Amino acid sequence: MLEVLKRIIVDYQKKALPVLTQRDLKIEFIPNMATGISGIRRGGKTYRTHQLAIELERLGKKENICRVQFNDHRIINIPAKDLHVIDDAYYSIYPEKRENEDVFFIFDEIHRIKGWENYILYLLETSTHKIIITGSTASALKGEFASSLRGKLFPLELFPFSFNEYLRHHQAEIDTVSTKGRSFLQNSFQGYLKTGGFPGVYDIPEELREDLLRTYWDTMLLRDIIEAHNDENIDAALLRHFCDALISRVGCPMTTNKVSLNLKDSGFAFNQDKIYRYLKYVSDAYMLQTVEFFSESEKVRARNYKKVYCIDWALARAVSYGAGSDDTRLFENMIYIELKRRGRIVSYYSTREGFEVDFVSMDNRKEIELIQVSYSLDKTSVENREIRALLTAGKHLNAQKLTIITLNDEKTVKQDGMEIIIIPAWKWLLES
């Protein structure tokens, strides 16, 4: 095993890395802590660590990288008790670097190894060790796994490409002032809305994109849920129908009880606990996420319906049917993902008068922005409805900011002592 790991380490150091689109996610190292990067499969986690390797190579430190991918067939069955062979292998090649230089240990999917946490704690005992862990499930780098690292994991989340990153990938100049520049950005936004944020779909023929996205979806179901929980013997048919039911409800009200009744009507037999577990697994894998009603009361949140969103709106279009593939719902889905990318706490709200606000967006200072997402405000009745909902909810929640995000409309409305910013999505997306 020592010789195998030495080859793995050196092979990566000698590997010519591809030219990649720079991601906005900054990799931070906190003293005596590992850095965890989690996110959807095929979202770019591995490439982001390749970019770190490129940065280190420019500094003449590529030999300071010890990278191990735990889906490598040569070590896929390595037990936790043998993980120490990794740093043994590295320092047998570079003994002079031990405790004299920073060494970057990059581990892809190490959480697949039962008991991996103790090895990370062991590495952290040496201050010159900089550790990055990547994983396709949130619970791998947060929750129960993170707690077993005794608070020594600094979690980062990588989402599919933002609009900024999409433009950077296509080497587009950002000009928000000139008429020509704004027109170009509007057209680019239409491409982003159609294509989504998965980097792997950008440079292939358009007719293959949805097929590739459906392949992604199938792989997520298999690798990140069924195989990741193989001790549970997951009912693959039930899981797929459950996920189909959720993704068809993108941006729509959803209750697990209603979904369960529909599944039972289709002939599936299961208990409700299984559905709740499946929902957790799907959320942990970043495939689908639910948004709760905004309230400090857990009871109030529990008795209200949830709204469901997909990690990528183009993925939702590729694999869903019904409301899940509606353009206005996918537009709303895109805004939700951008809010999560910005680290916002997101919920929805419905007033006593029956006016619903799509998103209650809260930062870590508890300042509230209310956001309505409307594909178009061409009809006066639509604009009045959206404004009425924001004004009513804004007074109830003492919101600091009111925003309507549209496809192309842009203006400021002042009414009842409050200000509402109406902004096109392409411009709002570039604000970050």
Q: In CATH, what number is assigned to the domain containing residue 406?
A: 3.40.1350
For residues 56 and 189, state if they share a domain.
Answer: no
Summarised one tens digit per residue, pLDDT across range 130-168 is 999 998 877 666 655 566 787 889 989 999 999 999 999
Contact present, 247 and 235 (Cβ < 8 Å): no
Contact present, 401 and 430 (Cβ < 8 Å): no
Neighbours of 50 (CB within 10 A): 18
Give the rounded distance of the alpha carbon of 129 from its chain centre.
27
The pLDDT of residue 218 is 96
For residues 188 and 143, state if they share a domain.
Answer: no
For residues 142 and 26, state if they share a domain.
Answer: yes
Give the rounded distance of the alpha carbon of 411 from its chain centre.
31
Residue 226 domain flag: no
Most confident among 325-329, 331-335, 360-364 (mean pLDDT): 331-335
For residues 116 and 190, state if they share a domain.
Answer: no
Question: β-strand 345-350 against 356-362: which pairing, if any?
Answer: antiparallel
Give the span between the Cα atoms of 309 and 313, in whole angstroms: 8
Residue 24 domain flag: yes
Give the rounded distance of the alpha carbon of 383 from its chain centre.
31
Summarised one tens digit per residue, pLDDT across range 362-381 is 988 889 999 999 988 888 88
Could you give the maximum distance between any two Cα atoms of the chain, in Å?
A: 73
- Helix crossing, 179-195 with 327-341: angle to 10°? 100
- Write the burial class of residue 26 (CB in 10 Å: 0-12 exposed, 13-18 middle, 19+ buried): exposed
* pTM for the full predicted model: 0.93
For residues 103 and 130, state if they share a domain.
Answer: yes
Out of 203, 234, 266, a domain closes at 203
- Write the burial class of residue 57 (CB in 10 Å: 0-12 exposed, 13-18 middle, 19+ buried): middle
Task: Report the number of distinct structural domains present in the chain.
Answer: 3
Question: β-strand 153-158 against 129-135: which pairing, if any?
Answer: unpaired
Residue 239 domain flag: no
Out of 131, 158, 185, a domain closes at 158
Residue 224 domain flag: no
Q: CA nearest 217: which of 238, 239, 233?
A: 239
Residues with Cβ within 8 Å of residue 305, at least 6 apart in sequence? 253, 254, 255, 293
Least confident range from 137-151, 272-286, 396-410: namely 137-151
Residue 170 domain flag: yes
For residues 7 and 109, state if they share a domain.
Answer: yes
Give the span between the Cα atoms of 1 and 86, in whole angstroms: 9
Q: Give the pLDDT mean for 213-231.
A: 93
For residues 129 and 97, state if they share a domain.
Answer: yes
For residues 58 and 39, state if they share a domain.
Answer: yes
Q: Give the pLDDT mean for 310-330.
A: 86
For residues 47 and 190, state if they share a domain.
Answer: no
The whole domain housing 177 covers: 162-203
For residues 179 and 110, state if they share a domain.
Answer: no
CA distances from 18 to 51, 69, 244 (A): 9, 18, 36
Residue 221 domain flag: no
SS3 7: helix
Question: Quick one: tokens of 384?
Answer: 């009045």
**Distance spanning both ends of the chain, measured CA to CA:** 46
Residue 6 domain flag: yes
Residue 166 domain flag: yes
Q: In CATH, what number is assigned to the domain containing residue 114?
A: 3.40.50.300
